[in-house]
Structure 1
Amino acid sequence: MNTGVKITAYAAALAATFGAAYGVGTGVGPVEEPKKAEHGDHAAAPAPSESAAAGDGHAGHGEDATAAAPAAAANLPGGLQVSDGGYTLALETPTPAAGKSVLKFSIKDVAGKKVTAFTTEHGKELHFIVASRDLTVFRHLHPVKAADGTWTTPVDLPAAGGYKAFADFKPAAPGAKGITLGADLSVPGAYAPKPMPAVAPTATVDGYQVRLGGTLDPGKAGELKLTVSKGGRPVTDLEPYLGAYGHLVALRDGDLAYLHVHPNEGGPGPDVSFTATAPSAGTYRLFLDFQHQGTVRTAAFTVTAGGGKSSLPAPKSDVPAAGEATHDAGGHAHG
């Protein structure tokens, strides 16, 4: 399936996809995605000198949507705010227990009513992601909406500590734009943060190797190419997942600024490419979701952008060389 891309940033409070074990390699920050493959018509993540509003419109509360929502904050990547554009991410279970539990939340409009009408995009009315503050745990969940606008999803959060939930959606209201809101979760208990996984050119998950190459620079668009192989052979029959051959989420270390990316034209493998622009220098954690033989897997990478460093090798389609360092990391799953 051919899907044009532009890295979409969600000017909102923060949001793989992404059980299976996932790899560690090089990661990205908020990027822009071409109009052809818009994800919810989200406003693009601006470079430091740019300005973008994401999400103005009416509350999508069935046919009761009324007052125009305030314009979303400009110049911010997605997921940094719990309220934006007239919508609020309201967590009903902000302190889930470690291990398996259930999360409940809703999106509320300017009147405090639960929003019930959303635009379906990439097979879902709302995409929900939970990540640990140290970026070692990543969950791309698929919650179910009740008639009153309450969303529910099972989740497995392996350890105590701080997490952040991201709701990525587009209200079904006149003029509404895609938006990503973010809210904090806390899992009670003794907390020992893990170090950021090291930068590496490849990630390994369930026997699949994913190589990341390309360029990532603050304020400058570049191509990121991810190449999937297994057993030393290119995977040329990737399957569409939520309408695309790959989904990419990037979270910035420190504030967890969020960005969701969809692929440039191509497929069904082994290469999945994206056009990306980092909004600032810094360290990013990138999560690639891909589907093969009916199972969705997530490869995770750490990347440094800016500071005079070139953290990514040139794009290439070959499989990892013998003996090349790869990493396996747990903590990534799909719901």
Structure 2
Amino acid sequence: MKKKNNNKINSLSGPNESLGSFNNSVVVALSGGVDSSVSALILKNKGFNVRAVFMKLDNSTEKEKTAKKVAKEIGVPFEVIDLRKEFKEIIIDYFIKEYRIGNTPNPCVLCNKEIKFGLLLKKFNNDFLATGHYAKTKDGRLYKAKDYKKDQSYFLWKLNPKTLKKVIFPLSKMTKEDVKEIARKNKLSVSKKESQEICFIKETNNEFLKKYIKEKDGDIMDKEGNIVGKHKGVWFYTIGQRRGIGLSGGPYWVIGKDVKRNKLIISSDEKDLFSKDVSFKNANWIRKVDFPLRVKAKIRYGHKGDFGVLNNNKLVFDRPQKAITSGQSIVFYNKSEVIGGGIIK
């Protein structure tokens, strides 16, 4: 990657953002939800040779039955791929490990790279893969979807151009309401349940974690180092957390974690959560960039994004941002294009 020694801040130009043309054979990752179901229907109606594939990631059968019924309604062949072992080893174990070392991971980002657009795409190597993501791809590049409120390009930053050239996002130019209307008009028996934030967690986050990580008493400290209370393990807290700290008075926010000493650091001043500087690791660049580069960046999925200057593995925001959290993804945008991302240190 080329580096520049001057103080110039670069900008990027992008191609016309439209869905490219593909060959006729496509595998649709069908979950039985409205988005993947409508994606399969759209491609079938456009004349594609569609195969619906359900990824079995746990022991439940409800979603599989729904997906099979939808595939029959659309009139496409249906297949089940059992990925329970791989999902447990690659995604769930990673999630637990990251919390154990004090991070707050985003398993969906890794799942997209390793499972959906990794193992599944590899199995059907000669076909294109379509999903119900709200995102857009063109010539190996990645863009935001038309429906910015539902846009999921944030979760796809780990994909590379080679993979993106084999991917179709049929919902790229549609809104969620458009999709629901198509499902209704075509009387598809889609699941009425919206996707969970983390698909493998059925209870609260901490209830899940406590099955794998033991509680351990530790000190709650203010930023001056005074002990103000006790907690049951820093891995059960995340930066920016306000509720569930267990202290009277307040409000208090978690502003830091000392994992080695099991110390939880809190503050009664919300301003202590804000910072301009973000260091990150494990960067993936979907397109070549020259540093320094002015970008818009998101530090979590729900973050609206803000502008800053990117230089190698560090970004400095123009304005302080709240609760920059280790383990989360930082994703960089040039207008509507995703140029890359990394894991916040």
Which category of TM-score, normalised to the shorter sequence, fits these structures? under 0.3
TM-score between both structures, scaled by the size of structure 1: 0.26
TM-score between both structures, scaled by the size of structure 2: 0.26
Instruction: Name whichever structure is richer in helix by fraction.
Output: 2
Instruction: Name whichever structure is richer in strand by fraction.
Output: 1
Larger radius of gyration: 2
